[in-house]
Structure 1
Amino acid sequence: MRRDGLILARGVALLLPLALLGGALGSQYIGGLHPCEMCHWQRWPHYAAVIVAAASFLVTRNRPLLMTLVLFAAVLIAVSGGIGVFHAGVEYHWWEGITGCTSSLTRGMSAESIIDQIRKGPMVRCDAAQWTLFGISMAGYNAILSIGGAVAIFLLAVRRPRIAA
């Protein structure tokens, strides 16, 4: 029996973003956690990865095309992980966010200015984690699982088929 890492990589490339999107959407619609702007940024590459990975299941005989689709899905998953690293860094206040959904209160602001900023500000802030487990936010878990999964997909895809004993 032949073991082919590319076939396994194709399955992981489809199931991983589906699972991560399922977790994100479940936490939103079942758990009541509302996503911020950067949360949505992390989802877009996963949506694209699902489409690309699903398309790879239509390829049966063209191995180079199959490899290209699987590796492209892995890159998309890694992009989501990179956005997750950035978002987690904003949540942990390691660096400033680039969106309007982070707090921009500065010392010496008048009470009127603070109230005005609160009124104009977003409902869900990007620099405050709504949920953590073991000190890791959802953005952090997305980063870990996406980057780790992308590496695993790449390693599986490029390994040569071998004969199982």
Structure 2
Amino acid sequence: MTAAQSRNAAYALALLVPGGLMAGALISQYGFGLYPCEMCWWQRYPHIAAIVLALLAFTMKGRGAGDMAVILAAIATGISGLIGAFHAGVEYGWWEGVTACATVAASGGNPLDAIMNAPVIRCDVAPWSLFGISLAGFNFLISLSGAVLVFALLGKSRKGA
């Protein structure tokens, strides 16, 4: 792989990893009714920042500022992964969480009724898992792997340049 190919792959991954994870989170929420708890929201914020930074990087591609935006996007993705690791530990009962449960209020109608009838989403209960790995656990695995790969690809592109 050439230096240019490594750089292009790093830029693409910096966008695709958080973008794919956010898409999965939104599909699970709106398509399957898996509403996020407070800690799930914490994991989304760095992904949103990473998507913005990665898109910004594409506008500055080929300059040092573009690489810096990709680095910041990878850091944001890694932060989301670390939050996911903490959240997964809370779900598995390895340690205590730091928040109360969150609720999702429905829009429309009487606001008080919506608040009173909103589902309680617990941070310490995994609403879904595959092979014993919760969504927070998958976020940890995918986000940290993606961030490390972005750094490796950028490093390879700098050595080859």
TM bin (shorter chain): 0.7 to 0.9
Identify the residue that residue 109 of structure 1 maps to in structure 2: none
The share of aligned pairs that are identical, in percent, is 48
Q: Describe the SS at the equivalent of 1:20.
A: helix
Identify the residue that residue 105 of structure 1 maps to in structure 2: none
Identify the residue that residue 142 of structure 1 maps to in structure 2: 139
Q: Describe the SS at the equivalent of 1:88.
A: helix
- Aligned residue identity for 1:125: R
Identify the residue that residue 52 of structure 1 maps to in structure 2: 53
TM-score (norm 2): 0.84
Q: CA deviation at 1:156?
A: 0.3
After TM superposition, the structure 1 = structure 2 runs for residues 11-160 of structure 1, keeping only pairs within 5 Å, are 11-62=12-63, 64-101=64-101, 123-160=120-157
RMSD: 1.9
- In the alignment of these two chains, the number of paired residues is 144
Q: Describe the SS at the equivalent of 1:159.
A: helix
Larger radius of gyration: 1
**Structure possessing the higher relative contact order (Cα contacts under 8 Å, 6 or more residues apart):** 1
Identify the residue that residue 110 of structure 1 maps to in structure 2: none
Q: CA deviation at 1:61?
A: 3.8
Distance 2:28 2:61 in 1: 36
- Aligned residue identity for 2:99: T
What per-residue deviation string (whole Å, max 9, x for no partner) do you get for residues 76-121 of structure 1? 000000000000000000000000129xxxxxxxxxxxxxxxx9xx
The answer to whether the Cα contact below 8 Å between 2:61 and 2:67 also exists between their aligned partners in 1 is no
Alignment gaps of 5+ in structure 1:
103-118
Q: CA deviation at 1:12?
A: 0.4
More helix by share: 2
